[in-house]
Amino acid sequence: MSILVGPRTRLLVQGITGKEGSFQTRRCIEYGTKVVAGVTPGRGGEEAEGVPVFDTVAEAVAKTDANCALIFVPAPFAADAVLEAAYAEMPVIICITEGVPTMDMVRVRRFLKGSDLTVIGPNCPGVITPGEARVGIMPGNVFSKGKVGVISRSGTLVYEAVAQLTERGVGQSTCVGVGGDPVIGTTQVEALRMFNEDPGTEAVVLIGEIGGVAEQQSSDYIASEMKKPVVAFIAGATAPPGRRMGHAGAIIVGAAGTASAKKEALRAAGATIVDSPAEIGAVTAQVVGGS
């Protein structure tokens, strides 16, 4: 089993004719993802990477039955691209774009409230179910099929963690890069809930970072509802308060945003805390072996 993407995924790429869109479309196809359509306004009727291009998402969905959107659209237009996919009732929408204005995402979150649609990102590496579907920019060669779910605010750290897991023979069910912006589509808690309900996932690796209170919210969920072991790492332990470190959301404002506060909350909730990124694989292998 898996969450979000898999063998039934019929992928539509918004911005497919751009440099990054076409390159990553090719990589998705090479991985085995079924890419059925692309969308670039004004380029309808063309092909890109052997995929038919349409002017609108609605037209593409009507003609190809696409059920997942992958967005490579410049930041000023990315939120509108997400909304276009949402209006077309795409069940899963994954926005890779970095630098999307925060208020644009507030508008997207407001529109999505109460809907059954899932938005991942923006400013994220995407989602991959090893051996089934790659939807994003993750390097597919480091992933292996298994039963550990991975949730990460950081793209780079998810690659590192997965490489360690794979090296130790610990495969992954699905890996989700939720994104590092202050306002994102799917939260850590929502991703944890998906894995908690997935019969093919036996444990979860949660990679957080400084800034915000997402990890404290995750702690509440872990303590009250999580049925599976969680291994957690928090990046940014040495970051000074008030200075943004990497992601737009990685800035300490108040005591709750510190790495120590997040670790304390997660530990109290029953998660196994990893203090160094180099230990994620080894600690997870121990937890899975003992679960």
Q: Is 247 designated active site?
A: yes
Token pair in block for residue 280? 């994620």
* Active-site pick, 134, 147, 247, 262: 247
| Residues 149 and 172: beta-carbon distance below 8 Å | yes
Q: How far apart are CA 194 and CA 129, in angstroms?
A: 14
Question: What one-character-per-residue DSSP string does 52-84 give?
Answer: EEESSHHHHHHHH---EEEE---HHHHHHHHHH
205 alpha carbon, distance to own chain's centre? 13
Over its C-alpha atoms, the chain yields an Rg (Å, rounded) of 18
Residue 48, strand partner residues: 51
Q: How far apart are CA 152 and CA 232, in angstroms?
A: 10
Active site residues: 247
